[in-house]
Amino acid sequence: MTSRRARRGAAILALCLGLVAAASATGCSAFGGQVHRSAAADGPGRAAAPEPRRSPSVVMFLGDSYTVGDRGVGPETTYASATGRLLGWQVVVGGRGGTGFVARGGGPHSFLGHFENQLGWRPAPDMLIVSGGHNDWRYPAPQVAAAAHLLLERARQRWPGTHILLVGPLWGNDTPPPGAVAVQGALKNLAGQLGIPFVDPIGERWITGDRPAGTGNAAQFIKRDRTHPNEAGHRYLATRLAADLKRLGLDHPVRKD
């Protein structure tokens, strides 16, 4: 009887050892009905590699007083900086109030000169956003488009891998004069010709109504000058721009090598 039990025990032990050996050979172990991948299958001392950490996008803005700020609104509180905070960018703001693609605002430079002096000498950003046309509404639209073309091509040549976005005129109410509408259309057509994404604040009716009449969102977001946004207005404009950037797939731009 004892010999029979001994032989049976030896057979069971051999079977168990065979199963363990087979499991080890496949790199798996079976316990509690679950199959677990063996650490040995990944090789000695290997651990899962952490996902690479993405650096914040570097985005430069070039524009007029809507972009750089005006009385009571500094550059750190304009829609440009507010957009950067919403999307986690590093932002550089350039330009000057009263200027445009043609307009010089009483100074020596239009947008092209401000690009060269303030931005163009810097290392290439991930994206350049050019926002203007408001101060150009008194100039012929073809002249404005030609000046914008020169600026955009200069930026492309300087930074070949940088994304470029063109933003049309911003306006303080929903009834811009015919000259502003003409500039808006000319810039939109130019962007299409150059294959550059275009954001259209007038066409998208970012600002509605009129501040003095107390109508639309202008009553809440535009200052008494009927032109410039207050701080709340800049934050609102940032949400509109951020939404368009997400739609265009440019909310986290990466410069192309």
Q: What is the pLDDT of residues 91-109, one digit of tens each?
A: 999 999 999 999 999 999 9
Distance, in Å, from the CA atom of 9 to the CA atom of 3, rounded to the nearest integer, reads 10
Radius of gyration over every alpha carbon of the chain, rounded to an integer in angstroms: 31
One domain, residues 89 and 14: no
220, part of any domain: yes
One domain, residues 72 and 143: yes
Closest CA to 155 of 136, 127, 131, 135: 127
- Looking at residue 7, its pLDDT comes to 45
Per the listing, tokens 């009716």 go with 205
253, part of any domain: no
The domain of 11 spans 7-38
DSSP strands (E only) in the chain:
28-31, 34-37, 58-63, 90-95, 127-131, 163-167, 198-199
One domain, residues 15 and 132: no
Number of domain units in the chain: 2
46, part of any domain: no
Closest CA to 114 of 180, 60, 185: 60
136-194 pLDDT, tens digit per residue, is 999 999 999 999 999 999 999 999 999 999 999 999 999 999 999 999 999 999 999 99
Residue 188 tokens, joined: 């939109």
DSSP β-ladder status, 34-37 and 28-31: antiparallel
The residues near 95 (Cβ < 8 Å, ≥ 6 apart) are 61, 62, 63, 64, 67, 68, 111, 114, 118, 132
One domain, residues 30 and 124: no
Q: Say if residue 224's pLDDT is above 50.
A: yes
Residue 237 tokens, joined: 């404009």
Look at 34-38, 103-107, 214-218, 235-239 and tell me which has the smallest mean pLDDT.
34-38
One domain, residues 100 and 13: no
One domain, residues 18 and 89: no
The residues near 79 (Cβ < 8 Å, ≥ 6 apart) are 66, 67, 229, 234, 235, 237, 238, 241
Burial (Cβ within 10 Å: 0-12, 13-18, ≥19) of residue 254: middle
Residue 214 tokens, joined: 């107390």
H runs (alpha helix) in 63-177: 65-68, 79-87, 111-114, 141-158
We report the CATH number of the domain holding residue 219 as: 3.40.50.1110
53, part of any domain: no
Look at 10-14, 137-141, 142-146, 214-218 and tell me which has the smallest mean pLDDT.
10-14
21-64 pLDDT, tens digit per residue, is 444 433 333 333 333 343 344 445 555 565 565 799 999 999 99
Model pTM score: 0.80
One domain, residues 96 and 27: no
One domain, residues 100 and 17: no
